[in-house]
Chains A and B, each alone.
Chain A
Amino acid sequence: MEHQKTSKQLLGELLDKHYADALQAKADGKPVAWSTSIAPQELLETMGIHVVYPENHAAAIGARKHAQEFINHSEGKGYSVDICSYARVNLAYMDIQQCEAANIPLPDLIFCCNNICNTVIKWYENIARELNVPMIFFDLPFNHAYEVSDQNVRYIKAQILEAIIRLEEITGQKFDYDRFGEVMRISSETSLWWKNASLLACAKPSPLNGFELFNYMATIVCMRGTKEGLELFKLWHDELKEKSERGIGPWKDAEEKYRVMWDGIACWPYLGDTYKVLKKYGINMVTSTYPDSWYIVYDENDLDGMARAYSSNYVNRNLDFGTDNIVNIVKDFRLDGIIYHSNRSCKLMDFRQFEVQRRVEEATGVPSVIFDGDQTDPRAFSLAQFETRIQALVEMMEARKKEWGVS
């Protein structure tokens, strides 16, 4: 009988395969797309176009501690230090095309969606222009009202339909609507299992060590529309559920003393360091803003629903929504504290962070800290300063437990 793989093994294999397949497709003369991380990949999957994600790839380079040489290259070319470091890494990769992480082929098509930020517009436009490849752009306006408006939904849906026509022109192939329905179903289901798995961290102790979210995130980005991706997240969910039912916490050698969430992107170059500091104090980062970012769920063949789902991620929503989102996380996951990553790269996420922190504190009374860092630029982070803030958070959480008997 074949030994059943763990989700972790499967995750590694799928990621290797994802990159190998893209390189193979390129070698076979098939088109390859580069896409932003929360874009309607369903269209590409339906067309059988291989797609890789520069943000994922830049994160992988960062996690292997090799971002600096790419950043130097970009800055040497004239890109400002104030530009998102994913962009600086990726724009350099376009030239260097060789890295310690898996390599990716250059694109024949750009797929860009501004529901995460507007930096991506110029970044991807730049790639398209330099490589002289077509770009399909989805404009998903920031939602200034609490809910995504019907008007926005119509506007986005029209763009999806237009993108289908452009894809047909670019590839010379007909778009298969039956296959599209199937991909829509799989994508939604995968998102659902991703969310279900991450919700298991509500248990006390949490079976999930939240840093794993950072690892699994790579696949929810790049394999959301595939059967393999779906299987992976089901398996992960089942593993966590079993752990939870047996009352097993996040670590074998330590107990979960405090439960926190991490707001924003990981500090990839210091992933291990940040993890170790938290673990040292018994802090389990049980969740982050990641689970909701890829909770892109809608009914099969429901283009309106799809348009709405892609516009609904929290960074594209207004301040009230952003606040409620975290307030609910604090309640659902029974958090003791919050760690806000003030990420030098990501202006949009940071822009309202102070105000969200203030409002969340007012609504929940849960203590929090902000630390300075960057998702891939190693120069913007100091471990000693990080630890001081984390230790201070522990002291605040501890004082609160003692004083009010909060547990």
Chain B
Amino acid sequence: MITGAKEKGLYLGVDIGSSSSKAVVINQSGIICGEGIVNLGTGSKGPQISVEKALEQAGIKRADIKKCVVTGYGRLLYEGADKQITEISCHAKGVKFLWPTASTIIDIGGQDAKVIRVSPNGIVENFVMNEKCAAGTGRFLEVMARVLDCKIGALSGLAARGTPGVVISNTCTVFAESEVISQLASGKSLEDVALGAHKSIAQRIAGLCNRIGIADSVVMTGGVALNLNVVTAIETEIRHPIIRLADPQAMGALGAAIYAKEMDEENNTNR
């Protein structure tokens, strides 16, 4: 994977979210040479660390980067990028690059849940996002994990052992938290409650999907895609299979890096 600094064109994409930062370095052929994912978001050292990690993995220095594009909530505050592009376009770009037939992209990050519709040639046609509220986002899962006293990474396994039946009806994360507590108090198992929480997220996302319309293929990105049980729950709600890419968290940063490469190519052809 490490290609070294001899490469002529190297491009950096940085995706600064609310709770994590991602950086990806690609070469002229679009191959990923380095990647850094850090669980610290905007306003922290996270962006810087993720970039350092990606550069280190690629075996290069910042000066070797020809162009850099930044995306995500922290994009407006990040200095040192040539351009900032929204996470909507970047996710679409990244996913289309790896999965050209993707038409619907479900992206669930720390504070955002969005569904993006992409045309066959990669143009974002429309997108919908969660309203100004943490329902249906990664933050909701973080809160659930805390109440269920398990690590966020273990939530999927926990829910997989649950039996359906627990309903978490509140969309508000804070209210859902107290609902979960009272479910546990009434004797429901951790596994069943975890499954109920996942179903509740899946229903929110299905609502967004229905608003925009689902078309084949459906690809899921963002940190929440690492939770296999949520992915399955969404598949059930939308009655459609979901493709999970190997590195769902890095899609925004990858898209940003591809934009950086395209910018450079455009500059060269205009010259």
Known pairs A370-B128, A380-B132, A385-B132; A399 contacts B88 (CB<8 A): no
Return chain A residues, CB-CB under 8 Å to B85: 391, 395
* B127 lies within 8 A of A392 (CB): yes
The answer to whether residues A388 and B87 also contact, given A367-B126, A395-B124, A399-B123 and a CB cut-off of 8 A, is yes
| Smallest beta-carbon distance B81→chain A, Å | 14
- Shortest A167–chain B CB gap in Å is 44
Distance in angstroms from A401 CB to nearest chain B CB is 11
A229-251 interface (Cβ within 8 A of B): none
Bound complex: CA A396 to CA B122 (Å): 11
Is A395 a contact of B87 with CB atoms below 8 Å?
no
Chain A residue contacts of B87, Cβ below 8 A: 388
Kindly state whether residue A389 has any CB partner on chain B within 8 Å: yes
Instruction: List residues of chain B with CB within 8 A of the CB of A328.
Output: none
Asked if B268 lies at the interface with its beta carbon under 8 angstroms from chain A, I say no
Interface mask (B93-108 → A, CB under 8 Å = 1, otherwise 0):
0000000000000000
User: Is A400 among interface residues, defined by CB-CB distance under 8 A?
Assistant: yes
Known contacts A395-B86, A395-B89, A368 near B132 by CB under 8 Å = no
B123 nearest CB neighbor, chain A only: A399
Q: Which residues of A contact B131 (CB under 8 A)?
A: 342, 372
Check: B78 CB closer than 8 A to any chain A CB.
no
The one of A342, A368, A384 in contact with B126, judged by C-beta atoms closer than 8 angstroms, is: A368
Number of interface residues of B (CB under 8 A): 18
B86-A392 in contact (CB<8A): yes
Q: Taking the complex as formed, is B76 at the interface, i.e. its CB lies under 8 A from any CB of chain A? A: yes
Contact of A382 among B76, B124, B125, B132 (CB under 8 A): B132
Q: What residues on A are CB-neighbors of B129 within 8 Å?
A: 385, 389
Q: Contact between A391 and B86 (Cβ–Cβ < 8 Å)?
A: yes
* Contact of A399 with B128 at beta-carbon distance under 8 Å, contacts A391-B86, A392-B89 already known: no
For B76, list chain A residues within 8 Å (CB). Answer: 384, 387
In the complex, A176 has a CB within 8 A of chain B: no
Is A361 part of the contact surface with B, judged by Cβ < 8 Å? yes
Interface string of A347-359 (1 = CB under 8 A from B): 0000000100010
Q: From known contacts A370-B128, A372-B131, A380-B132, infer whether A400 and B86 are also in contact, taking CB-CB under 8 Å.
A: no
A372 surroundings in chain B (CB, below 8 A): 131-132
Please tell me the number of chain A residues within 8 Å of chain B, measured between CB atoms. 24
Interface status of B211 (Cβ within 8 A of chain A): yes
Nearest B residue to A384, CB-CB? B73
Q: Which residues of A contact B186 (CB under 8 A)?
A: none
Asked whether, in the complex, the Cβ of A399 is within 8 Å of the Cβ of B124, the reply is yes
Please measure, in the bound complex, the distance between the C-alpha atom of A382 and the C-alpha atom of B132, giving whole angstroms. 8
| Interface residue? B267 (CB, 8 A) | no
A403-B123 in contact given A388-B86, A392-B88, A395-B88 (Cβ < 8 Å): yes
Among B127, B128, B132, B211, find the residue whose CB has the most chain A CB atoms closer than 10 A. Answer: B132
* Contact between chains at A392 and B124 (CB < 8 Å): yes
- Tell me, rounded to whole Å, the shortest Cβ–Cβ distance linking B245 to chain A: 21
> Which residues of chain A have C-beta atoms less than 8 A from B88's C-beta?
388, 392, 395
As a 0/1 sequence over residues 209 to 242 of chain A, the CB contacts with chain B under 8 angstroms (1 = contact) are 0000000000000000000000000000000000
How far is A149 from B131 in the complex, measured between Cα atoms in Å? 38
Residues of B near A385 (CB, < 8 A) are 129, 132
Given A361-B126, A370-B128: 10 more A-B contacts, CB < 8 Å:
A342-B131, A372-B132, A385-B132, A389-B129, A391-B85, A392-B124, A395-B85, A395-B86, A399-B123, A400-B123
**Chain B residues near A (Cβ < 8 Å):** 73, 76, 85-89, 121, 123-129, 131-132, 211
25 A-B pairs with CB atoms under 8 Å apart are A358-B211, A361-B126, A368-B126, A370-B128, A372-B131, A372-B132, A380-B132, A382-B132, A385-B129, A387-B76, A388-B73, A389-B129, A391-B86, A392-B89, A392-B124, A392-B127, A395-B85, A395-B86, A395-B89, A396-B124, A399-B89, A399-B124, A400-B123, A403-B121, A403-B123
